[in-house]
Chains A and B, each alone.
Chain A
Amino acid sequence: MATDTAPTVLRRSREDDAVGRKRWATPLWNTVALLFALVMFFPIYWMVLTTVKTGKDLLSVDPTFWPTGISTASFQTVFDDPNFLTDMRNVAVITVGAVILGLAVGFLGAVSVARFRFTGRNFFIASMLVVQMVPLISLVIPMFFILKNIGLYDQAFGVILAYLVFTIPYVVWTLRSFIVNIPKELDEAALVDGCTRWGAFMRIILPLTVPGLITTGVFCWIQAWNEFVIANILLSSNNQQTAMVWLTGFSSSPTHGADYGSQMAGALMVSLPVIVLFVIFQRRVTSGLTAGAVKG
């Protein structure tokens, strides 16, 4: 979290803090905030609780808010599903491909608009913004035709290409503000000290952009992993689909439609890679948000 503590300014009275807030009210606000956190977190608690509930608890008329026993049967059902692991592997391959390609191509574009002025620059920047607003769902039908024609329909690589539609503009747009914030003087100092342009890039811009690359990479990862519409349409075979497509199929199937225990176990499993990433990169996610977004 951004916890920048500005130097304390003078206090006007014991009861009020610097900006005139009543100190006695803090416990009250804390309670309200905790209630909010509870409401927000409850669905996730409920998901996890449901996955470990025993059959008896799942079927009880009154929902139980605490497990009376732990059961792994729901997870067993998920892992027994023939397509679960294959589809998890597929989405991992597609995500890694889309992130790496998106970062590589987007980074070059970002360097170009952050460090050079050239004809067409403003147009390029503006289109990177506008393009992010085109609803993906509207592109899906022509994409379906095109991939069919070039033989990439129902192939992981076709979906990776399709995902570049949102990863590249996002990376260019966000990394641009990271690179703009690297003082130009650093490049110039390197050039004065005898670096070539390429050397200055490798020694100054690239290392200083690593935090930005990680942040944008995490965001792209999450978007690609969670994407549903494109994957659902461009992949048709059961053993080519992604984890999200698998989940919708699994939880609407006649066999598992009423089995909320294994639906929640499946839901938890397909979200885990993203949740873990969020926990690891929590600070980067928030700083990336402010870098890319607040700045505009």
Chain B
Amino acid sequence: MSVMESDPMPVAANGRPKAPKAARKGVRVRGSFVPYVLIAPAVVILLTVLAYPLVDLFVLAFQNVNDYLHLSAPDLVKFIGFDGFSKVLGSGDFWQSVQRTVLFTLEVVAASILISLLVALLLQRISKWAKVTVVTALMFVWAVPQIVTGTLFKWLFANTGGVVDYWFYLATGDQGWRTHDWFADPNQGLYIVVAIAVVWGALPFLVIGINAALTQVPKELVEASKLDGANGWESFRHVVLPVIKPFLVLGTALSFIWDFQVFGQIWALRDNAPEPGYRVLGVYLYQEGLGSSHYSTSAVVSILMILLMLAVLVFYIRQVIKMGDQD
């Protein structure tokens, strides 16, 4: 860690050496209005499109807007205190979605980070042409929108004409595989097919990011550790890992954010109508809120979802802000 503490990233990403720290501190213009004028548009717009809806979300969570009628007849709208919260927290459906979301997120984040770390390390020891090939393939995958990923994997795993079933049939010789329905059992559909689709889409960002971080590892240090008798794992653990740790932390946090609110892939994979077994929190709150017009219930679920995410991300946010302060 000592390398990191003295200077988090000695060379900026664009290759320009950074100016010494003291010189990079901004000017403190006492009483000047210039910086405030510059952030004013951003602040005003974010207050309108973000802060106001957030406040509205809280208000809604304490009201009884649970059918379409309450939208057109404001007289019927009442504040019901924490009744909405106790209803959601007492509902088995909600806790099942939480459980599904947590399991799914753990599985997918762990798989994405582990695979991308291995692939990034692999990229370090292959010929240039092979590296270009891998990165090109990754760029194409990266460009595929989530909805398209869902549509595409629905076809790959289809039970008539799906190529994955065909491969299983070729590998096992069992005719039953030809029409295997991966989605009939939601556990199989969610934890295998959706998970594969999400990991597939997440790998490019993570592999390329970790690879970029690995290029920052000073080769001399790795060599020195080898000369000092460290084996491969030890020099990875003590020399490489500290340097790529900031990106690993960021990559894990971002993967967590994305996977925890996964929606698009499931939506497309299940033809706009995910069955109850596919209800992770994102799907649950969407179907409650807009499918069944339970707006207030859905607002409660939204707030609980934000709180769950923040509880995990607090550690990450603190670390990033600490790093940002060093600028």
| Residue B12 lies at the interface, judged by CB distance under 8 Å to chain A | yes
Give every chain A residue within 8 A of B146 (Cβ-Cβ).
226, 228
- The stretch among B87-95, B106-114, B282-290 that forms the contact with chain A is B282-290
Known contacts A184-B19, A291-B12, A294-B209; decide if A106 and B226 are in contact (CB<8 Å): no
Chain A at the B interface: SS class: helix
Give every chain B residue within 8 A of A165 (Cβ-Cβ).
46, 49-50
Select B299's contact among A20, A109, A122, A142, beta carbons within 8 Å: A142
* Nearest CB in chain A: distance from B115 CB, A: 9
**Across the interface, do B268 and A251 meet the contact criterion of CB distance under 8 Å?**
yes
**Across the interface, do A33 and B123 meet the contact criterion of CB distance under 8 Å?**
yes
Select A40's contact among B34, B141, B282, B319, beta carbons within 8 Å: B141
Closest to B197 in A: A43
**Across the interface, do A244 and B147 meet the contact criterion of CB distance under 8 Å?**
yes
| Residue B257 lies at the interface, judged by CB distance under 8 Å to chain A | yes
**Across the interface, do A134 and B54 meet the contact criterion of CB distance under 8 Å?**
yes
Q: CB-CB contacts of B125-167 with A at 8 A, as 1s and 0s?
A: 1111011111111111111111110011111101011110010
- Per the CB 8 Å criterion, the residue count for chain B at the interface is 129
| Residue A196 lies at the interface, judged by CB distance under 8 Å to chain B | no
| Residue B41 lies at the interface, judged by CB distance under 8 Å to chain A | yes
- Per the CB 8 Å criterion, the residue count for chain A at the interface is 121
| Residue A289 lies at the interface, judged by CB distance under 8 Å to chain B | yes
**Across the interface, do A181 and B28 meet the contact criterion of CB distance under 8 Å?**
no
CA distance A109 to B285 in the complex (A): 33
Known contacts A33-B122, A248-B268; decide if A19 and B27 are in contact (CB<8 Å): no
| Residue A21 lies at the interface, judged by CB distance under 8 Å to chain B | yes
| Residue A133 lies at the interface, judged by CB distance under 8 Å to chain B | yes
Closest to A264 in B: B155
Give every chain B residue within 8 A of A192 (Cβ-Cβ).
none
Chain B at the A interface: SS class: helix
**Across the interface, do B18 and A296 meet the contact criterion of CB distance under 8 Å?**
no
| Residue A237 lies at the interface, judged by CB distance under 8 Å to chain B | no
CA distance A228 to B261 in the complex (A): 13
**Across the interface, do B42 and A1 meet the contact criterion of CB distance under 8 Å?**
no
* Nearest CB in chain A: distance from B251 CB, A: 8
Known contacts A226-B146, A293-B209; decide if A44 and B141 are in contact (CB<8 Å): yes
**Across the interface, do B23 and A109 meet the contact criterion of CB distance under 8 Å?**
no
Please give the residue numbers on chain B whose beta carbons come within 8 Å of chain A beta carbons, in ascending order: 8-9, 12-16, 18-19, 23-29, 32, 34-36, 38-39, 41-43, 45-46, 48-50, 52-54, 56-57, 60, 71, 119, 122-123, 125-128, 130-148, 151-156, 158, 160-163, 166, 178, 200, 203, 205, 208-209, 211-213, 215-216, 218-220, 222-223, 226, 232, 246-247, 250, 257, 260-261, 263-264, 267-268, 271-273, 282, 285-286, 289-290, 295, 298-299, 302-303, 305-306, 309-310, 313, 317, 319-321, 323-325, 327
**Can you give 23 A-B contacts (C-beta < 8 A)?**
A1-B135, A19-B222, A33-B123, A36-B122, A47-B155, A116-B29, A116-B34, A135-B257, A141-B57, A141-B60, A141-B295, A165-B46, A168-B45, A178-B14, A184-B24, A185-B23, A211-B14, A228-B147, A275-B144, A278-B140, A286-B208, A289-B205, A293-B247
7 nearest A-B residue pairs (beta carbon)? A138-B302, A112-B38, A290-B13, A116-B35, A142-B53, A142-B56, A226-B145
